[in-house]
Structures are given as C-alpha cells and as structure tokens.
Structure 1
Amino acid sequence: MLTLTQALYDQIVAHSRADHPDEACGVVAGPAGTDRPERFIPMLNAARSRTFYEFDSGDLLKLYREMDDRDEEPVIIYHSHTATEAYPSRTDLTYANEPGAHYVLVSTADTDDEGPFQFRSYRIQDGEITEEEVEIVEAYPAAV
C-alpha cells in the first residue's frame, strides 16, 4: 500500500494538470529505508510529449546525487497519461528500474480544470505490474 499526505497528493495532481496536454513527471523522495514519501520534486518532461515522458539525463543525475547527499531514495516515481487510463504502458515498463518505488500514474485524459482524473499506484518488479491501494492521510504519524 502507498500512504501519502493530502498535500503530496494535491501537488502530484496539480503538476499533472498544469503540464496537460503534455505528460508530467517527477519524483517524491523520502528517507532511505522508510517507504515514506516526503519531498515533492517535479521534473521537466524532456520529451515534451503527449504520449510519453522522459527525464532529462543531466537533471536525473543531479537529483540522484542530491538524494544520496540527503540519505534519501525515490519513494514515488510519477507521471501522467494524457490520452489513456492510469495504467503502465509498455514504454513505462522499460523505464521502471526502481524495484522499491511506487509508480504513480495520473490520467488527465478526461479532465478539465476541475476533474475528473484517475490516480493509481503500482509496484513494478521484473516487468510484473501489481496495483496497490492508495491511502491519503492529513499527516504521517509522529515517530516513536
């Protein structure tokens, strides 16, 4: 199950809507080993495409160095689909190289400024796609 705050959920949806009709993409980083998304990092779709996304290789290298310096890892890798449902495409499978990440897809195919939209999360490991439940919380529980 993916648990994320309402604020992060809202940021992912807002980015997806803002970049429509192009696909939006980004990462939500969290402390290494926690599976807790905390830091929203919208990225530029270097492909500037309505049908696929691509992280700029330089931006991605910089992001991974920054996460490493902060002892973070990519907890969520997200992107939008502008013309199809929120389900990983064959191209998405080829990009899915973080086996511990949650892959979030937001479909803006049927959206206008107010909605509706689909927000779904998947685990993708060894080419196998497993949809998971998404829980939205106001805040994470305090650490004990």
Structure 2
Amino acid sequence: MLVIRADLVEQMVAHARRDHPDEACGILAGPDDGSDRPERFVPMENAERSPTFYRFDSMEQLKVYKAMDANDEIPVVVYHSHTATEPYPSRTDISLAQEPFAHYVLVGTRDPEEHELRSYRIVDGEVAEEEVQVVENYMFSHTGASDVPDQADPARP
C-alpha cells in the first residue's frame, strides 16, 4: 500500500495538468530509513515532450539522484501521467522500471475535470496494483504499528 500526503498528490496532479497534453514525470523523494514515506516533490522535465512517452533527461536525473544521495533520500515514488489512456503501465513503462522498491504512480488526465491516480509495484517485469491511501499527514497513518501516542493515565500522578 502507498500512503501519501494529499499535498504531494495535489502537486503531481497540478504538474500533470500543466504539461498536458504531454506526459509529465518526476519523483517523490523520501528518507532512506525504511519508512516508505514520500516527503519531497521533484518534478522533472519530460525529455521526449510527448503525449505518449516520457523519459527523464539524463543530466537532470543525475543531479536529482546526487541530491537525494546527499540528503540520504531514495525515490519512494516514480510518477508520470497518461494523457489519453487509463493510468496503467504500458509495456514501455514496465520495461523501463528500474526502481524495484519504488511505487510507480500514474496520473490519468484524459478527463479535464477529474484525475485518476493509481499506484503499482513493478519488479522484474511483473506489475502489481496497490491500494493508495491519501492522508493529510503521516503522524497517524497506518504503518502496522500503533502510531497513536499514549494518553496520560489520569490515575497516575
């Protein structure tokens, strides 16, 4: 399951709308601590400037990955938009997926009023759709452990 803040979803959708009819692309970086939480929006240029294909500019990608390394971050989400088709990874998307631990998010912008957002894991050419939980913040989102702070026991001094 991808747990993602609403503000990051809004930024991805805004980027996809801005670049429409071309595909938009980018990364959501997060701490390299196993938390699997995207924290930082990193829009990138679609070097192809195409409505049917995206490719990160290699020099921009190198700069982005160096900055993530310097900040102890990883690409938690790799996103791009589909402008005229459903947000499902194409054969090309699958063949180019190089981040086995990343969530691959597709933003569908074929409807000018509503967006579609879906997330996938792509490992060794195998695609598995996953649930997306949009939260306002990560403080109390589901992690499999109790994130709710203990309340003070009124019986204790």
Q: Same fold by TM-score, threshold 0.5 exceeded? A: yes
User: Is the aligned partner of 1:17 residue 2:12?
Assistant: no
Q: TM (normalized to structure 2)?
A: 0.87
Deviations 1:58-98 (A, max 9, x none): 00011111100000000000000111100000010121000
| RMSD, aligned α-carbons | 1.2
Q: Distance in 1 between matches of 2:125 and 2:17?
A: 28
1:125 — aligned with what?
Answer: 123
What TM-score comes out, normalization by structure 1 length?
Answer: 0.95
CA separation in 2, counterparts of 1:107 and 1:137? 20
Alignment of 1:27-66 (within 5 A): 27-32=27-32, 33-66=34-67
Pick aligned residue for 1:134 from 101, 123, 132: 132
Task: Show the counterpart of 1:105.
Answer: 106
Unmatched segments (≥5 aa) in structure 2: 141-146, 150-157
2 CA distance for matches of 1:55 and 1:105?
15
1:76-115 alignment runs, 5 A limit: 76-109=77-110, 111-112=111-112, 115=113
Point out where structure 1 has 5 or more consecutive residues left out of the alignment: none
1:100 offset after TM fit, Å?
0.2
| Secondary structure in 2 matching 1:17 | helix
Q: Is the partner of 1:105 in helix, strand or coil?
A: strand
Amino acid at match of 2:133: E
| AA matched with 2:19 | D
Look up the SS of the partner of 1:50 in the other structure.
coil
Distance (Å, rounded) in 1 between the aligned partners of 2:6 and 2:82: 21
Aligned to 2:85, the other structure's residue is in SS state coil
CA distance in 2, matches of 1:18, 1:83: 15
For residues 71 and 124 of structure 1, the distance between their equivalents in structure 2, rounded to whole angstroms, comes to 23
SS of the residue 1:36 aligns to: coil
Instruction: Give the distance between the partners of 2:120 and 2:87, measured in 1 at CA.
Output: 10
